[in-house]
Amino acid sequence: MTAAGPRTRSERKHAAIVAAATSVFLDRGYHGASMDEVARVAAVSKQTVYKHFASKKTLFEQVMRATSEPMHAALRAAVDGVAGSGDVEADLRAYGQALLREVLTPPVVRLRHIIVAEADRFPDLAASWHRQGPGRTVDDLTDRFAALTAAGRLSCPQPRVAAEHFLWLLIAEPLVKSMFVPPPARPVRVEARVDAALRVFLAGYGG
């Protein structure tokens, strides 16, 4: 097996452009970013940037994918763990900690902010971010909570409402604040926040 990652000259340039664009967009916002600066940071010509990405919007969509895909992969793995061990509380605690950490990763916070700022111009991108983010998380949790309720481990007669409650008890406070105020350098108190949310959730929805 050879190592994964870009191997041809074109693939290497493609990766360099995405890395440069990520840095430029997160630093300057959509409006302030330019294809010229992306080309300079990637050390390629502007023509090369346009050969790989037909427009600034296309390049930004690739930055969205590259920045959010690690989070989505981590959250898919984490939700797979819910109900995996037979200890629902422990599973939800582990999932909640993963969720808080992933959703508040600084590049994700920054990208989310840029997407909200550009929602008038690119309603499709903003809607897609919401669908794949909170929308997907609520869908995944709805399935789990319905199954756990069927198994008598939770009591969620409206599993979608329970999924929304679980998500927002955990994350709404720091998430909403991060829209208005740059997040603090010190991380949110993940364990305490998850424990407090879980206590209320299980009081309402325990089996």
Q: Pick the binder of a second copy from 15, 29, 46, 51 (CB under 8 A).
A: 29
Listing DSSP states for 78-141 in one string gives HHHTTTTSS-HHHHHHHHHHHHHHHHT-HHHHHHHHHHHHTTTT-HHHHHHHHIIIIIHHHHHH
Are residues 33 and 15 in contact, defined by beta-carbon separation less than 8 angstroms? no
For position 75 contacting a second copy by CB under 8 A, the verdict is no
For position 205 contacting a second copy by CB under 8 A, the verdict is yes
What's the length of the chain? 207
Residue 15 or 161: which CB sits closer to a second copy?
Answer: 161
Question: At 180, phi and psi to the nearest 5?
Answer: -105, -35
Distance between CA 192 and CA 207 in Å, rounded?
Answer: 23
Site string for a second copy, 77-116 (x = CB under 8 A): ------------------------------------x-xx
Residue 43 or 172: which CB sits closer to a second copy?
Answer: 172
For position 184 contacting a second copy by CB under 8 A, the verdict is no
Are residues 94 and 9 in contact, defined by beta-carbon separation less than 8 angstroms? no
Binding positions for a second copy, rule: CB under 8 A: 29, 31, 113, 115-120, 123, 126-127, 129-130, 134, 158, 161, 164-165, 167-169, 172-173, 175-177, 179-182, 196-197, 199-201, 203-205
